Chains A and B, each alone.
Chain A
Amino acid sequence: MEKEQISDNKDSSIHESYGAFVRQQFRKNKLGVISLYFLITVILTAISADFLANDKPIVASYKGSIIFPIMHEYAVSLGLSSWERDIALADWKSLKYDWAVFPPVPYSPSNTDPNIMQSEMGPSSKHWLGTDDIGRDVLSGVIHGSRYALAIGVVAMGIALFIGLFLGSAAGFFGGMTDVIISRIIEIVITFPTFFLIITIVAMFREGNIWLIMTLIGLTNWTGTARLIRGEFLRLRNLDFVSAATALGYSQRRVIFRHILPNAIAPALVSAAFGIAQAILIESALSFLGFGVPPTVVTWGSILERASSSINAWWLAVFPGLMIFLTVSAYNLIGDALRDATDPRLRS
């Protein structure tokens, strides 16, 4: 029996689920795959940022005992532990260690290098990508800034996807007055100049707050997703498999979530990829204009902003700018590749 089945499925390339089909098609797009690997690198960098760029040693021997200051700091921030008094306020660099292993970039993004009292310094063997006007290491800022870039994309698009899916499905599935009302709401939100709306709201708060910005970007960028999902629902609900589901007495919830939504989600995910790119750009632009994050938080956009006041410090503009460009391009290329891969008509 087992053998029969295997021989029967000899042509295994056609025996696959939709997900496997999409993966297979995606792999054919070289740019998409390269972008995906780049993005994975950025994600890994963001996860391990504390171990890549930090002024604390990863592991050290201090006063006869082995300490793991970075791990210890996680425990402290979770409230599981506290610092010894003599270490708490110390400058980690100047402590007398027996031995210590520092991260490859031994600077925290917001800590100034006390050895540099002059203003911004170009790339050197000590600071690979230079420092800004108050002596903060740019490479460390770029590494830690990747966390904000990713968080902005995920949080903002997460909010936008949730609202867009919810309203789009309702409008497309129920039609009638529901559709009319939701469509009008979408049109009203589209007419807002989102960028200036965000600037206005952020300006009302004394302190810039990165999470507030993420939420605002999400709350103003769901219209594209909603319209896409609505269109897909309008198309799909008239197809025979939805009629069949109704004729079989499936509940409305089952028809929406098991039969229509899985067929409608692919274009929404594609638009989400573009939306993430858009969100990163909005945050960078806000930070560049000085409406974004508080000065203590280092994002790619806020490093760029430093460049505007230091005309000669090209490294302040080039490196974070390059990261924004590469990350946004990667998301766009992944979106392109996903769109092609999820469309069976483009099967090659």
Chain B
Amino acid sequence: MSDNTQKLLEISNLQVYFPVPGGILQRKVAEVKAVDGVSFTLHRGETLGLVGESGCGKTTVGRAIINILRHVSPEVHIGGSVYFYEKDGTRTDLAYLSKKDMRKFRSKIQMIFQDPYSSLNSRLSVRQIIAEPLEIHRPDMSAKERNEQVELLLQKVGLQPEYAARFPHEFSGGQRQRIGIARALATRPDVIICDEPVSALDVSVQAQVINLMEDLRQEFGMSYLFIAHDLSVVHHISRRIAVMYLGNMVEIGESDDVYFRPKHPYSIALLSAVPQPDPERKDKQRIVLHGDIPNPLNKPSGCSFRTRCPIARPECADFTPQLAEHENGRFVACPYV
């Protein structure tokens, strides 16, 4: 990673705690630490893959960055910072912006969602869906210009412009995901948070959508934060990969390094689970983790992975391991590797 790459997003010690209400008065009785101190940097033009098993907080990280958690659960506690860097280097912390101030940044950070069926409003036509962001963020555009933009965007994502008059239920999952991508592209964002964008699609369609997204990224000069649990997909599209476990980041590094030479015991186990396309190759041993992922309401003390870790020691219960640099740009949160 070269030093002159400009920063785009810098997430610093991000914490997202959801309150668990209980009792007659629905008071807070506990907290789910969905994200507990995550830090990483996303550079301009880069794709960063974020992987981890279900419930590890990767989706919450994405939603915290685009600042929509408070809309759904107003009582959520958010700590740390989400810095957004303008092209001229000035930065803004998005985590604490009011709804009104956040609106200015909405056009620059967009999101693609996992479920192509619930992410499009079924009562609006494709034209209305894609034109709406332009109505809000480009009020200077005439209706005719907007229409041209909609048709251009549809072409860019590989759909026929004539489809603009149709409604979402007339499309397949892959086509719907393309519509979602066109909607995210409409405001020409600097970064798109891709929340498992291909998990709900057939494998053959996955490849098409992944390749389309890569082409679009290069054409529009965007960055992606690519959240997924499918490691081979993430390896294919990302320049760097970050691995999360139970709200913490355990490893981050260059895509090939993390994918082929994982260091953290959790990354090693996770990557050993990737199916091998070559049945002759038996050198890679599958590491099966024992036990369930701990309840995020009641995390183990110290290193949260120690209950399932093959190399755990008694000391692991005493301190929370921090990400430490192992080689250039490679950080691992385990002192024993």
Contact = CB atoms under 8 A, between A and B. Distances in A.
A21 B166 CA distance: 13
A136 to B, nearest CB: 50
B28 interface: no
Contacts of B121: 241, 245, 259, 262-263
A247 B72 contact: no
Contacts of A15: 165-166, 170
A16 B125 CA distance: 10
B109 to A, nearest CB: 8
Given A16-B167, A243-B113, A249-B137, A8 B106 contact: no
A187 B167 CA distance: 39
Interface stretch (A195-203, A211-219, A232-240): A232-240
A19 to B, nearest CB: 9
Question: How large, as a class, is the contact surface on chain B?
Answer: 35 or more
Interface string B51-94: 00000000000010010100110110000000000000000000
A243 B124 CA distance: 16
A18 B119 contact: no
A238 B122 CA distance: 15
B133 interface: yes
Main secondary structure of the interface of A (DSSP, over half): helix
Question: How large, as a class, is the contact surface on chain A?
Answer: 20 to 34
Given A8-B162, A249-B102, A249-B136, A18 B113 contact: no
A41 interface: no
A240 B114 contact: yes
A243 B68 contact: yes
Contacts of B166: 15
Contacts of A344: 169
B114 A247 contact: no
A246 B115 CA distance: 17
B223 interface: no
> By CB atoms of chain A within 10 A, which of B123, B165, B183 has the most?
B123
Give me the 8 closest cross-chain CB pairs, A-B, nearest first: A249-B106, A240-B119, A240-B113, A262-B123, A239-B118, A249-B103, A241-B121, A240-B118
Contacts of A9: 162
Interface in A12-31: 14-18, 21
Interface of A: 4-5, 8-9, 14-18, 21, 175-176, 180, 237-241, 243-250, 258-259, 262-263, 344
Interface in B107-151: 107, 109-111, 113-115, 118-125, 132-133, 136-137
Contact of B119 (A176, A237, A244): A244
B1 to A, nearest CB: 28
Contact of B111 (A8, A17, A247, A250): A247
Contact of A175 (B74, B118, B162): B74
Nearest to B195: A240
B160 interface: yes
B122 A247 contact: no
Contacts of B103: 249
Contact of A237 (B26, B72, B132): B72
B187 A248 contact: yes
A21 B165 CA distance: 15
Nearest to A5: B162
A238 B119 CA distance: 10
Nearest to A14: B170
Contacts of A263: 121-123
A73 B110 CA distance: 64
A263 B124 CA distance: 10
Contacts of A241: 118-121
A8 B111 CA distance: 31
A14 B171 CA distance: 10
Nearest to B128: A258
Interface string B166-202: 1101100000000010010001000000000000000
A238 B72 contact: yes
11 contacts: A4-B162, A15-B166, A17-B167, A176-B74, A240-B114, A240-B118, A240-B119, A249-B106, A249-B137, A262-B123, A263-B121
A180 B187 CA distance: 38
Given A14-B170, A176-B74, A248 B133 contact: yes
A244 B106 contact: no
Contacts of A245: 121
Given A180-B26, A240-B118, A258-B124, 9 more contacts: A21-B169, A240-B113, A241-B119, A244-B119, A246-B68, A247-B110, A249-B136, A250-B136, A259-B121
Given A175-B74, A249-B102, A243 B170 contact: no
> By CB atoms of chain B within 10 A, which of A21, A238, A245 has the most?
A245
A9 B162 CA distance: 9
Given A17-B125, A17-B167, A262-B123, A243 B72 contact: yes
A245 B137 CA distance: 13
A8 B170 CA distance: 13
Given A175-B74, A243-B72, A259-B121, A248 B110 contact: yes
A16 B165 CA distance: 9
A248 B125 contact: no
Contacts of A249: 102-103, 106-107, 136-137
B102 A244 contact: no
Nearest to A17: B167
Contacts of B102: 249
Given A18-B122, A240-B114, A244-B119, A250 B107 contact: no
Contacts of B74: 175-176
Contacts of A259: 121
A315 B106 CA distance: 70
A247 B106 contact: yes
A102 B248 CA distance: 87
Contacts of A243: 63, 68, 71-72, 111, 113, 119
A243 B110 CA distance: 11
Given A239-B118, A263-B121, A244 B113 contact: yes
> By CB atoms of chain A within 10 A, which of B26, B71, B125 has the most?
B71
Interface string B22-49: 0000100000000000000000000000
